Structures are given as C-alpha cells and as structure tokens.
Amino acid sequence: LSASGCEKRGRKLSLHVLSALWAAILRLVSKCSEEIKNYIEERSGEDPLVKGVPEDKNPFKEKGGCVIA
C-alpha cells in the first residue's frame, strides 16, 4: 500500500472505532435515562413537590398571629 492508502485505511478504521464507541455511549445514556425515569416515577408519591406538604408537617406554616394589647 502507498502512504496515502495507509492514511486512508487508518482514517477509515478510526472512523469505524469512533462510530462503535458513539453507539455504545448512546445506548448507555438511553439505559441510564430510563433508570432515572423509573426511579422518579416510583417515588413521586412521596415527593413533597409533587404531592404537597401536609399542613401538620409544614415548617413554614404560620404558627399564629401576634396580638398586642
């Protein structure tokens, strides 16, 4: 093979390897995002941002007014 033929073959091989790696990364992201989605959906009933905070457990609820006589 000539020098340019070797370079072309090397580039083609590099492109093939990078394509395979990218496909693996995309699969990993897809699997990870599915796991995160399932985790969130399983716990949404306990999430105070979704469900709301019960009145008796709300630390920011006003305790009562101050009366000055």
Residue among 52, 6, 68, 33 at smallest CA distance from 60: 52
pTM above 0.85, yes or no: no
- For 1-56, the pLDDT digits (tens) are 566 778 888 788 888 888 888 888 877 888 888 999 999 999 988 888 888 888 88
Quote the CA–CA distance of 53 and 40 in Å, as a whole number: 18
Dump strand ranges (E) for 1-69: none
Cα 10 to Cα 7, 45, 46: the distances in Å are: 5, 54, 55
At position 51, the amino acid (one-letter code) is: K
Quote the CA–CA distance of 28 and 31 in Å, as a whole number: 5
